[in-house]
Amino acid sequence: MSKCITKLTYKSNDNDDYNITIATLCEALLHFMLTICTLPSERKIQVKNDLILDVIIPNLLSLKIKPDKSIIIQVIKDKRMDLNKTSQLEFLQPNHENIWLISAKPLSATKYTTYTVFPKNSGLHNYSNIIIDIDNFLKETGDKSFRFIH
């Protein structure tokens, strides 16, 4: 991921635009990896007029019935606006550890599991490991969703 990012040349002097570009790349790559790895997920689910879930693992029904066996993943593109909306996720997912945020740069202290492309300390998760972590979560929760065998 770091090699891809260093090749990105963004003509804008606006750091927010650069972060949005990186977050969008992370989101697209996550969707691709989930598909290729055949990990169960639902994407871009609108649950309220102003709230769209980026990714639910394994699916919305599991989240409603057994939230402890489900993850919500949100990609933070606009820090101010998106972080204000993350608190709304708690009505669906009461377990803060099962709300995963992805951001280009480290977020200030948050109670949610945070993945970043540029981790600066050991308290943050490296985005490069997210698929491994999702697969481990599904194994730990005993998910029996159909997957192709590689």
pLDDT digits (tens, 9 = 90+) for 22-74: 888 889 999 999 999 888 999 999 988 888 899 999 999 999 999 999 999 99
Question: Cα dist. 36→29, 31, 32, 105, 131 in Å?
Answer: 10, 9, 6, 26, 11
- 81 with 3: CB under 8 angstroms? no
Top pLDDT among 13 and 81 is at 81
The CATH class for the domain spanning 2-140 reads alpha beta
- DSSP per residue, 27-45: HHHHHHHHHHTT---EEEE
Place of tokens 């790895």: 37
Torsion over CA: 48, 116, 140, 87 (sign): negative
The Cα–Cα gap between 143 and 135 comes to 10
- 20 with 28: CB under 8 angstroms? no
The Cα–Cα gap between 69 and 79 comes to 27
Look up the pTM and report it. Answer: 0.84
The Cα–Cα gap between 139 and 21 comes to 32
Per-residue pLDDT tens over the stretch 93-118: 999 999 999 988 777 767 889 898 87
